[in-house]
Amino acid sequence: MADSHDTVSGFPFEPVYGPDHLDAFDPEAKLGAPGEFPYTRGVYPNMYRGRPWTMRQYAGMSTAAESNRRYKYLLSQGTTGLSVAFDLPTQMGYDSSASLADGEVGKVGVAIDTVEDMKALFDGIPLDEVSTSMTINAPASLLLLMYQIVGEEQGVAPDALRGTIQNDVLKEYIARGTYIYPPAPSLRIIADTFGYCAEHLPRFNTISISGYHMGEAGATPTQEVAFTLADGIAYVQAALDAGLHVDAFAPRLSFFFVSRSTLLEEVAKFRAARRLWATIMRERFGAEDPKSLMLRFHTQTAGVQLTAQQAEVNLVRVAIQALAATLGGTQSLHTNSFDEAMALPTETSARLALRTQQVIAHETDVTATVDPLAGSYAIESLTDRIAAEVQGYLDRIDELGGAVAAIEEGYQKREIEQAAYELAKRVDAGQQVVVGVNRYQLDEDPQPTLLRIDESIRQDQIDGIDAVKRARDQAGVDAALDEVRSAAAGDANLLPPMREALRRRATLQEVCDVLRDEFGGYIPRDTF
């Protein structure tokens, strides 16, 4: 963005948009009706007139018991879906007792070491009555299996469980870093998860293909959509290569995008993404089920745009970002809390974030009509321009051999880093205004009360692991882990033996260590 009259993606806004900007505009081909191909106007005919988007609040901190209290509070305040944040050791496949976990247990999410932690996390919450999203990637299949086991121990059948696992490992190599195994075995685990869920957990979304973290790392809107759809193409191809039929798993694919404060470009971005994915699935992969063509997505407001300076101003930013997501047709939404630039949210800040969604849903007219900005010269022109630029990125990734080959070559990571660098330069030079940071500063900036995590929880987690190990049948655990090893060395689906190991109370790390032994770890190219 060279100046304030350019989009974040780097092409200029026109001073005025009119019919001449839509010369090649074919409403039949580019719009269709809501709920019909190419789904530019939304994936459902009625959209929010039937019911609002699912209101999620991403939460997880400290111990499972503490997070459980937060979930019950959010449900009592009107949250319509749970969204679980896991701590860094869990995301990396380590138990709280691992030396690498020191200083990180419970800090950015909840620590889950065994099925017993998952039971405590959902104690008193009937799993057949909630939809649960879990932001977990490399060990996503294991956390899903723990959730299934807890449901069964509650008496809930697997086919009644609803929710989403992020399970998007490719974006970890690009923008985030919580990978465990190399790309090839990671794709195998994901394909195995697709197959397992199609049979056992048919109402669970098996992946949330994520552009959010790329946007947070500095990707432009066009890069975010392009690299996300490229990853989606790779996942679909991996599942097809594993012998699955496209319409058997594609309806359970979902996506996850960021929503920035640049409302017009963000609305156009969401509309372009739907159109492109529908075309890819129909023309590239031959999908026939309409649900296979629908890009259904969750949105989170832009954490990277929140500031520690004048933190209360983040309430305004989040409201605009949430409005962009809803005008763009999101299926579910998480609104960040105003204090998240500094710490995990308090109950008060989490409630205010939820109230932001509720005000949009109930006090505005956003839900009264479907795709209210359709036909706007500016919106349709931006949608076309974004779609064209995204297609250019997709063509380049295909030239490199696909998303995995491009990742291994470092293409996406370089592109995002360059975009982040250019943005940082503009902010530092004052060309890009950030209220309270490089303009409209205060001499004194009072800070809100922040949530702090007690360091003693790590020992509590270690004590819990020790108690589980004392109570379990060790011979049964060892035998189950041997079955996991055999499956990893062969081509059997990994999830049934992993489920049995977890049911016997193997820890998260014990299962991940078996896979580490078989698959190895991953070292990114730019660290050689």
286-328 tens-digit pLDDT: 999 999 999 999 999 999 999 999 999 999 999 999 999 999 9
Which pLDDT does position 527 carry in this prediction? 45
DSSP 8-state class, residue 208: E
Average pLDDT over residues 133-151: 97
Which pLDDT does position 1 carry in this prediction? 38
- The alpha-carbon radius of gyration of the chain (Å, integer) is 23
Average pLDDT over residues 190-216: 96
How far is C-alpha 7 from the geometric centre of its chain's CA atoms?
A: 24
Partners of 222 in the beta sheet?
A: none
User: How many angstroms separate the CA atoms of 296 and 306, rounded?
Assistant: 26
Which pLDDT does position 526 carry in this prediction? 62
Which pLDDT does position 528 carry in this prediction? 41
Average pLDDT over residues 237-249: 95
Partners of 319 in the beta sheet?
A: none
| pLDDT beyond 60 at 49 | yes
Residues listed for the chain: 528
Higher pLDDT, 403 or 448: 403
| pLDDT beyond 90 at 424 | yes
What is the bridge-based pairing of β-strands 253-259 and 131-135?
A: unpaired
Q: Of 440, 371, 447, 484, which is closest to residue 141 (Cα–Cα)?
A: 484
Q: Where in 322-449 does DSSP place strands (E)?
A: 332-334
Report helix, strand or coil for 151. helix
How far is C-alpha 368 from the geometric centre of its chain's CA atoms?
A: 28
With b for 16 or more beta-carbon neighbours within 10 A and e for fewer, the 3-26 pattern comes to: eeeebbbebebeeebeeebbeebe
Report helix, strand or coil for 174. helix
Q: Are the CB atoms for 127 and 79 separated by under 8 Å?
A: no
| pLDDT beyond 60 at 152 | yes
User: Mean pLDDT for the chain?
Assistant: 94
| pLDDT beyond 80 at 247 | yes
Cβ atoms within 10 A of the Cβ of 301, count?
30
Sheet holding 207-210, edge to edge: 204-205, 162-165, 131-135, 81-85, 54-59, 332-334, 297-301, 253-259, 207-210
| pLDDT beyond 70 at 390 | yes
Q: Are the CB atoms for 222 and 386 separated by under 8 Å?
A: yes
| pLDDT beyond 80 at 28 | no
pLDDT band per the 50, 70, 90 thresholds, residue 2: very low
User: How many angstroms separate the CA atoms of 288 and 157, rounded?
Assistant: 29
| pLDDT beyond 60 at 3 | no
User: How many angstroms separate the CA atoms of 147 and 152, rounded?
Assistant: 9
> What are the two backbone dihedrals, phi and then psi, of residue 165, each rounded to the nearest 5 degrees?
-110, 140
Which pLDDT does position 45 carry in this prediction? 97
Which pLDDT does position 20 carry in this prediction? 85
- Residue linked to tokens 């007792």: 97
pLDDT band per the 50, 70, 90 thresholds, residue 356: very high
Q: Residue 466 carries which side chain, given as an amino acid letter?
A: D
> What are the two backbone dihedrals, phi and then psi, of residue 525, each rounded to the nearest 5 degrees?
-60, -40
> What are the two backbone dihedrals, phi and then psi, of residue 245, each rounded to the nearest 5 degrees?
-85, 140
Q: Where are the domains of the chain?
A: 19-58+140-429
Structure tokens at 518: 């078989």
Average pLDDT over residues 454-468: 93
pLDDT band per the 50, 70, 90 thresholds, residue 373: very high
| pLDDT beyond 80 at 245 | yes
User: How many angstroms separate the CA atoms of 418 and 112, rounded?
Assistant: 36
Residue 495 exposed, middle or buried by CB count within 10 Å (0-12, 13-18, 19+): buried
Look at 1-15, 114-128, 305-319, 389-403 and tell me which has the smallest mean pLDDT: 1-15
pLDDT 10s digits, 319-352: 999 999 999 999 999 999 999 999 888 899 999 9
Average pLDDT over residues 499-515: 98
Give the global pTM: 0.93
Identify the architecture of domain 19-58+140-429 in CATH.
Answer: Alpha-Beta Barrel (3.20)
